[in-house]
Amino acid sequence: MPDESQQNVVIHLSGQDDNLGDSVLRAGLFRALQGRNRAFHVYVRDHRGMDQSSDYMAGLNLGPNALLHETRSSWLAEGSRTRKAVHVFNAGEINPQQRLYPASSRTRELEAVRSQGGAIIVAGVGLKNPDQVSNLRFSPEFQTADIMSWRDYGSRDAAGFGEVNPDWAFLLGAGTDSWNPTGNRPYLTVTLRFDRPYPDRDWLLGVRNIAEQLGASLVTVAQVARDAPRAVRLANDLNAKYLGASSFNHSALQEHIRDVFSQSLAVISDRAHGLIIGATEGAFPIGSGSDPQKIKRLMETVGLGDLVGSYTEINKFGKALPAYLNILAPAVDSARDKLNRLAVRMQALMGSIEPPAHIKH
């Protein structure tokens, strides 16, 4: 018989299946929610009804207190079986396609949580394009969630409500006091998206110049499976070495990527979580892309946005980098402090919602 005194936490954790960053940020959120006598009801299917692979699931680090649900109806019904449950909105990027967000069906789900005396946590969401939401209306249940936190200021300012805290991925990784010293970091690592224009010759030359300036060896990696062909091409064009992972299982891939970044002076990427994971392992994040608005917003949230820009700015960033190297550890520590304070508030909220007393049968 289920324990009626147990607090049910309903949480959605789906993401891009081959994208390490998507599982990492959700693993950070999931870790922040842990507590005694809680049962986590987890749904991982996306809006198309597609399930996540075992590779993706390995990166979430779910424990024995997590129950996966095959259908959305069973997820909501079982998670709300006892009154005063906690409903946690999926973290990560949102890209509203209709006039109302969340959609009417999702809004009704949130309304049901409120009607049963439960709590709603929205923590770590960000708009894909903040400049395209002028005609968008956010539901009252979303706006007035018990905790409503965006992961960048651009999203919050466009929406007009909520607070801002760093992306949950900053919560994970090595402690700054255990980072490899500079002398044990032989690499300058490059990782780029597969779905953006390939950089030109001037960019490639600029990256080689930064490596020479740092006295570092150029390597490339792919934290997203679909990025692997581009990483191989970059390695060839940069006279670099492609350091491929033995597996794209997210647990093994994360271990590999963190190991490479822990040996890197800097990482050059247009992947937000390439920069974030690199930063949390002590590799200075240089954001460089054909459309860098998203990565700049996320890095500005933690005070690391000055070295993020377009491909054409790569030479400027290389010259400025030495002056910024000493700010990385304080920035990461500050980001983690903010996330830990947010986690404490989440814990206090969940603790204040007393599950009903055990019902004797």
One domain for residues 139 and 288: no
Query: What CATH code is carried by the domain that includes residue 221?
Result: 3.40.50.2000
One domain for residues 188 and 116: no
List, for residues 110-132, the tens digit of each pLDDT value. Answer: 999 988 889 999 999 999 999 98
What is the three-class DSSP state of 181? coil
Q: What confidence score (pLDDT) does residue 81 get?
A: 73
One domain for residues 76 and 22: yes
| CB 25, CB 16: distance < 8 Å | no
Q: What confidence score (pLDDT) does residue 243 get?
A: 98
List, for residues 161-171, the tens digit of each pLDDT value. Answer: 999 999 999 99
CA nearest to 282, candidates 304, 267, 271, 297: 267
The per-residue DSSP string of 288-344 comes to EESSTHHHHHHHHTTT--TTEEEGGGHHHHHHHHHHHGGGHHHHHHHHHHHHHHHHH
One domain for residues 124 and 227: no
Q: What confidence score (pLDDT) does residue 360 get?
A: 38
**Number of compact structural domains in the chain:** 2
| CB 256, CB 223: distance < 8 Å | no
2 falls within a domain:
no
Q: What confidence score (pLDDT) does residue 356 get?
A: 56
One domain for residues 139 and 237: no
Q: What confidence score (pLDDT) does residue 2 get?
A: 53
Domain that holds residue 72: 7-171+337-352
Query: What CATH code is carried by the domain that includes residue 13?
Result: 3.40.50
64 falls within a domain:
yes
Q: What confidence score (pLDDT) does residue 123 get?
A: 98
Q: What confidence score (pLDDT) does residue 361 get?
A: 36
207 falls within a domain:
yes
273 falls within a domain:
yes
- As a whole number of angstroms, the distance between CA 276 and CA 282 comes to 10
One domain for residues 238 and 320: yes
How would you classify the pairing of strands 86-88 and 100-101? Answer: unpaired
List, for residues 225-253, the tens digit of each pLDDT value. Answer: 999 999 999 999 999 999 999 999 999 99
Cα 15 from chain centre: 10
Q: What are the beta bridge partners of residue 269?
A: 191, 287
One domain for residues 146 and 287: no
DSSP letter for 17, please.
Answer: T
Say if residue 197 is preceded by a cis peptide, omega within 30 of 0. Answer: no
295 falls within a domain:
yes
Residues of the chain with pLDDT under 70: 1-4, 46-47, 355-361
One domain for residues 125 and 242: no
166 falls within a domain:
yes
One domain for residues 166 and 192: no
One domain for residues 167 and 244: no
- As a whole number of angstroms, the distance between CA 314 and CA 292 comes to 12
One domain for residues 246 and 309: yes
Q: What confidence score (pLDDT) does residue 354 get?
A: 72
- As a whole number of angstroms, the distance between CA 61 and CA 64 comes to 10
List, for residues 183-201, the tens digit of each pLDDT value. Answer: 999 999 999 999 999 999 9
150 falls within a domain:
yes
113 falls within a domain:
yes
One domain for residues 144 and 237: no
Q: Over the range 114-128, which residues count as b (16 or more CB within 10 Å of their CB) and which as e?
A: beeebbbbbbbbbbe
